[in-house]
């Protein structure tokens, strides 16, 4: 159908935000987050609501998964392991 060429919108008509724009905003929030404390879907939803984009947490999760962005728990693990933090420290033997 012809509708597939037009992005869907979120919210009322006076403040319509396309799904593409919502995904762009979610990606920007994730890219700017503190690696030690990644944003959970609910925190992303709250920030978007402050910016005038009202959507459910489940919608945030759906868009995040579509963009192949891991959950906050997985992002925390990946960033911590990349920095070397959180790795087990070997006990040093004393002579």
Taking 80 as the threshold, does the pLDDT of residue 12 lie above it?
Answer: no
Taking 70 as the threshold, does the pLDDT of residue 7 lie above it?
Answer: no
Residue 79 belongs to a domain: yes
Supply the range of the domain harboring residue 49.
16-83
* Inter-residue contact 68 to 78 (CB < 8 Å): no
Which residue spans within the chain are E strands per DSSP? 9-10, 17-18
Nearest CA-CA partner of 23 in 62, 72, 70, 50: 62
Q: Give the CATH number, domain containing residue 69.
A: 1.10.10.60
Residue 49 belongs to a domain: yes
Residue 20 belongs to a domain: yes
Report the domain count for the chain: 1
* Inter-residue contact 60 to 26 (CB < 8 Å): yes
Residue 41 CB neighbour total at 10 angstroms: 19
Residue 26 belongs to a domain: yes
Enter the DSSP assignment of 87: P
Residue 48 belongs to a domain: yes
Q: What is the pLDDT of residues 27-62, one digit of tens each?
A: 999 999 999 999 999 999 999 999 999 999 999 999
Give me the pLDDT at residue 4, please.
65
Nearest CA-CA partner of 10 in 56, 43, 44: 56
Taking 70 as the threshold, does the pLDDT of residue 73 lie above it?
Answer: yes
Residue 36 belongs to a domain: yes
């Amino acid at each position: 159908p012809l509708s597939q060429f037009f992005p869907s919108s979120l919210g009322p008509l006076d403040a319509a935000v396309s799904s593409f724009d919502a995904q762009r905003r979610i990606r920007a929030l994730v890219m700017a987050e503190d690696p030690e404390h990644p944003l959970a879907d609910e925190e992303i939803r709250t920030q978007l609501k402050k910016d005038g984009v009202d959507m459910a947490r489940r919608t945030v999760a759906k868009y995040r998964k579509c963009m192949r962005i891991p959950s906050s728990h997985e992002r925390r693990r990946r960033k911590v392991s990349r920095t070397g933090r959180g790795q087990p420290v070997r006990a040093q033997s004393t002579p």
